[in-house]
């Protein structure tokens, strides 16, 4: 779905944000791009739908080179939700905001109505249907921006810091929806500092530092490696910290999922009771 090869990018002020970055993201993959501020994460993913064009190198989305088509055409298949929702909200009501792209893409009125209602319900926004997005809290505006993209059902979804301002319930709804998208063969890429959300979701993890990719692997491989995480100033997930302390007692070290952790501890307790 996404293929970037030797991508370099410099801003107009000559700051080189990307330094020869390459990646292939397959259909149906869930990828978390992580790293400290200024690592180049957001700059990199803005290349995936043509918001930015590489100074050197190529980026293809769904087989289309981003420099050879418009952002508008790429957006039908590659949806992007900004870190700051105010960068993409402008309609008078939440309902109009979600319907805007659907109308531009030529959906029928009945389909628009159904998709808007579905997105409102999914993200607990129904009470705000007729409300101005700018009267909502930061977390609620974030959900409006997400709903406005989910409504047109893109093949690839790119989320820049999607969990900021969201409570645990909303994070879990997002996590479950991402997993649902995967079962439908859709591709999801998130940029995030939320190591606990990543640990619970266990996607492919890509670490960036100073405009380069420094690690790429499964959540278990990356998020249980203290030396690797230190490269990008990321703290070990709490579950990983716990199981590293339990390792001398025979517990595995590479545990990041709370549900797997629960199962292991219950089995250990049952085994001890049987002794």
Judge if 189 and 68 occupy the same domain: yes
Structural domain containing residue 275: 237-275
How much is the pLDDT for 76?
87
Read off the DSSP letter of residue 24. Answer: E
Q: How confident is the model at residue 5 (pLDDT cuts 50, 70, 90)?
A: very high
How much is the pLDDT for 165?
84
| CA dist 135 → 93, 115, 138, 148, 258 (Å) | 10, 23, 9, 17, 36
Residue 85 resides in a domain: no
The tokens describing 84, both together, are: 């700051």
Q: How confident is the model at residue 273 (pLDDT cuts 50, 70, 90)?
A: confident
Count of beta carbons in the 10 Å neighbourhood of residue 245: 11
Read off the pLDDT of residues 146-184 as tens digits, 9 standing for 90 and up. Answer: 999 999 989 999 999 999 888 888 899 889 888 888 888
CA atoms within 13 A of residue 112's CA, in its CB half-sphere: 15
Q: How confident is the model at residue 268 (pLDDT cuts 50, 70, 90)?
A: confident
Judge if 12 and 130 occupy the same domain: no
Judge if 62 and 169 occupy the same domain: yes
Read off the pLDDT of residues 219-245 as tens digits, 9 standing for 90 and up. Answer: 999 999 988 888 778 888 999 999 989
* The CA-based dihedral angle spanning residues 111, 115, 116, 122, taken in that order and rounded to the nearest 10 degrees: 160
Q: How confident is the model at residue 208 (pLDDT cuts 50, 70, 90)?
A: very high
The 3-state DSSP class for residue 66 equals helix
Q: How confident is the model at residue 131 (pLDDT cuts 50, 70, 90)?
A: very high
Averaged pLDDT, 11-24? 94
The 3-state DSSP class for residue 175 equals helix
The alpha carbon of residue 237 and the mean position of all alpha carbons in its chain are separated, in whole angstroms, by 18
Judge if 136 and 252 occupy the same domain: no
Instruction: Note the residue count of the chain.
Output: 275
Q: Which of 80, 179, 91, 169 is nearest to 128 (CA)?
A: 91
Please tell me the total count of domains within the chain: 3
Judge if 184 and 173 occupy the same domain: yes
Read off the pLDDT of residues 86-110 as tens digits, 9 standing for 90 and up. Answer: 888 889 999 999 999 999 999 999 9
Q: Which of 250, 251, 273 is nearest to 262 (CA)?
A: 251
Averaged pLDDT, 196-210? 93
CA–CA gap between residue 119 and residue 146 (Å, rounded): 9
């Amino acid at each position: 779905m996404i293929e970037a090869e030797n991508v370099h990018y410099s801003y107009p002020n000559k700051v080189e944000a990307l330094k020869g970055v390459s990646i292939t993201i397959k259909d149906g993959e869930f990828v978390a791009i992580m790293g400290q501020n200024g690592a180049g994460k957001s700059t990199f993913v803005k290349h995936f739908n043509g918001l930015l064009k590489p100074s050197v190198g190529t980026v293809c989305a769904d087989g289309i080179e981003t420099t050879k088509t418009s952002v508008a055409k790429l957006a039908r298949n590659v949806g992007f939700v900004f870190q700051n929702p105010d960068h993409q909200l402008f309609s008078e009501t939440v309902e109009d905001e979600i319907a805007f792209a659907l109308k531009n893409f030529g959906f029928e009125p009945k389909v628009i109505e159904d998709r808007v209602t579905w997105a409102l319900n999914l993200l607990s926004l129904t009470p705000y249907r007729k409300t101005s997005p700018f009267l909502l809290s930061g977390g609620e505006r974030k959900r409006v921006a997400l709903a406005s993209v989910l409504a047109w059902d893109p093949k690839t979804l790119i989320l820049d810091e999607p969990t900021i301002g969201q409570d645990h319930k909303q994070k879990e709804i997002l996590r479950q929806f991402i997993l649902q998208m995967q079962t439908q063969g859709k591709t999801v890429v998130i940029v995030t500092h939320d190591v606990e959300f990543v640990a619970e979701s266990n996607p492919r993890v890509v670490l960036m530092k100073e405009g380069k990719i420094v690690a790429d692997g499964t959540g278990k491989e990356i998020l249980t490696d203290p030396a690797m995480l230190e490269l990008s100033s990321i703290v070990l997930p709490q579950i990983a910290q716990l199981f590293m302390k339990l390792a001398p007692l025979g517990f595995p070290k590479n545990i990041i999922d709370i549900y797997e952790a629960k199962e292991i501890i219950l089995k250990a307790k049952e085994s001890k009771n049987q002794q």
